[in-house]
Structure 1
Amino acid sequence: MSNIGLIIEERSRDIGDFLVGRLLPFRKKRMIGPFIFIDHMGPTQLGPEKYMDVDQHPHIGLSTLTFMLEGELLHEDGLGTSQLIKPGSVNWMVAGKGVSHTERTPNHLRNGKTFTAHGYQIWVALPKELEDMDPEFHHFDQEELPKWLDGEASFTLVAGEGYGKKSPVPVHSHLFMIEVKTKNGTHRLDAEKQLKGEIGICVVEGNITACGETVPKGNILVSKVEDSCKVTLGPNTHVLLFGGEPYAEERHIYWNFVSSDKDKIEKAKTDWAAKTFPMMENDDSYVPLPGS
């Protein structure tokens, strides 16, 4: 997914053990572990006059993680990938030194009917020594992801490691992303000794209670204490836990480019504007560099 000037610094606030904001990055916190950007797609009604069509755009220095909750997307890229993603599955694209891709509503959903599209596009910065690695793409169906129950709560390990389990998604740094859902009851979430590094909580549906305050859906909480996170999930609540060990070096971000080196971002900007960036062979669409 292209971040076309849509990184908006929402107001954030301090409620004790947590910072609370609406998007990543936000004012008081630029990254959570290696996670540098989270885009909430929808939920929105699509079809027959409105579809999701993100034309060809570039990335460097990061991995994109696409996680759909409702609806489907077709991912295509300069590696020759053509992969449909359905709810609960994972698309993991490593941009490395540079790759272009598109994400569009698949043809079988362009049938005149309406449907809901809802999901998350997440960017994970690569370690400095891997920022120039060759691009890769991986897909995993939801059945391949580790799942377990803890009382009233169901868990899915989307990526990384946590709770003594490991996702098959081939990540390149110490991180975790975990989906947690409750039904009728509440659930006391205690991640101490279960997750390593910085911890963020994205409230997708329902609400959670932290430090005596109730935080509704649409917010992201960031724990100020590493390796510890004690909150209570309300009934019918859906959250994403994400984070990991932060990098020692600062990351710079411009449009769809992430790097520890500003010169690499400037080169990517020049290459994309000149169309000398690695392009897709079978797609001539093109999202211009902002301001060009």
Structure 2
Amino acid sequence: MSNIQLIIEERAADIGNFLVGRLLPFRQKRAVGPFVFIDHMGPAKLSDHENLDIGPHPHIGLSTLTYLFEGAIMHRDSVGSAVEIQPGAVNWMTSGKGVVHSERTPEYLRHSEKHLHGLQIWVALPKELEEMEPSFTHIEAAEIPEWTENGVYYKMVAGEAFGRKSPVPVYSPLYFLEIKTTEAATINIGDQLFGESALYILEGSIKDGDEAFGPKQILIAKNAELCTFEMSSNTTVYIFGGEAFPEERFIFWNFVSSRKERIEEAKQAWIAQTFPKIEGETGFVPLPEPKF
């Protein structure tokens, strides 16, 4: 019997000057464990006059995880970080009570053709840490645990499972796991996972019983025992999830909180421009108009 509860298809979303595929939140599934937001960026080919330019914008109540497959992004934030993220590395920024950051094409790529492909993920913070001090951590690709079993490649990008633990400093029990095949393989997860669980297909295909699934789909599991599924050759999937919080999380724009009034406070603070500033940056992304 299939363990799939819900299938979420990638939906196009405009984030300013760049089109992404929105995966979470979804009207029937607002979160998977602590994961409250996932955007699939690209794959996009940018010309010599096209660049990623997401100006200063705020966050509260979450950690952002940026994971690239191709290209480069220059990250700057109000904590004082100025770091270029490359494929395979992890940028982990915790907003807590409030942080501002920008994401742009690095200067040396701005006048040449380039590609950009990756995932942008938001992980909600536990209620008692929602107002913690903001922080930033950059983990190089070589520091992330990876291993091979029966010809299948695994990487523990964030969190902990399968007896492996990523150095990304998460704040609640979770996992974000990459699995890749070059040849067709049967994957037996068994009871290695916990909490809520989902599987995202980046490329290739998988089979669950007699059903086949392809790229740009998230499969939400009925329970964390994903059990057994088949991956075709040259397939990449991401399994993510963890313990869900007892309280609902509210989202408006870039703000996440267990309290609606806190989001209202953040809105007013951004309008008044009392959030911390990014050294060397000017301008800001305005608060969007509410959708009715």
TM-score higher than 0.5: yes
Matches of residues 152-231 of structure 1 in structure 2 within 5 Å? 152-183=151-182, 185-231=183-229
Is the Cα–Cα contact under 8 Å of residues 71 and 114 in structure 2 kept in the other structure? yes
Name the CA distance, whole Å, in 2 between partners of 1:281 and 1:141: 24
Report the counterpart of residue 121 of structure 1 in structure 2. 120
Aligned to 2:17: none
Name whichever of 73-82 and 196-205 sits farther off: 196-205
- Which residue number in structure 2 is paired with residue 104 of structure 1? 104
Identity %: 48
Q: Which moved more, 1:15-24 or 1:84-93?
A: 15-24
Shift of 1:224: 0.7
Cα-to-partner distance string for 1:57-82 (whole Å, 9 max, x where unaligned): 00000000000000010100001100
Q: Which residue of 1 aligns with 2:8?
A: 21
**Which residue number in structure 1 is paired with residue 80 of structure 2?**
80
Alignment TM-score, normalising by the size of structure 1 = 0.92
Taking the TM superposition and a 5 Å limit, the aligned residue runs for 1:214-253 are 214-253=212-251
Q: Cα deviations across residues 175-196 of structure 1 (Å, max 9, x unaligned)?
A: 000111100x222222222222
Q: Aligned-pair distance for 1:197?
A: 1.5
Contact 1:16 1:211 in 2 (8 A): no
> Could you say if the C-alpha distance between residues 175 and 44 of structure 1 is closer, same or farther in structure 2, counting changes exceeding 3 Å?
same
Secondary structure of the structure 2 residue equivalent to 1:263: helix
Moved over 2 A (4+): 15-18, 226-230
Are the counterparts in 1 of residues 191 and 224 from structure 2 also a CA contact under 8 Å? no
Whether the 8 Å contact between 2:191 and 2:227 is mirrored in structure 1 is no
Three-state SS of the structure 1 residue aligned to 2:239 is: strand
- AA paired with 2:72? E
Structure 2 counterpart of 1:240, one-letter code: Y
Residue matched to 1:5: none
In structure 2, the residue corresponding to 1:267 is in which secondary structure?
helix
Aligned mates of 2:232, 2:67 — CA distance in 1 = 23
How many residues are paired up?
276
Alpha-carbon distance in 2 for matches of 1:103, 1:190: 38
- C-alpha deviation, 1:101, in angstroms: 0.1
What residue number does 1:10 align with?
none
Distance 2:251 2:227 in 1: 28
SS of residue matched to 2:247: coil
User: What's the secondary structure of 1:64's corresponding residue?
Assistant: strand
Question: Cα distance, 1:16 vs. partner?
Answer: 5.6
Amino acid paired to 1:124: V
Residue in structure 2 matched with residue 3 of structure 1 by the alignment = none
RMSD: 1.3
Match of 2:261?
263
Please say which of residues 123-132 and 187-196 is displaced more in the overlay.
Answer: 187-196
Task: For residue 29 of structure 1, give the secondary structure of its aligned residue in structure 2.
Answer: coil
- For structure 2, the 5+ residue unaligned runs are 10-22
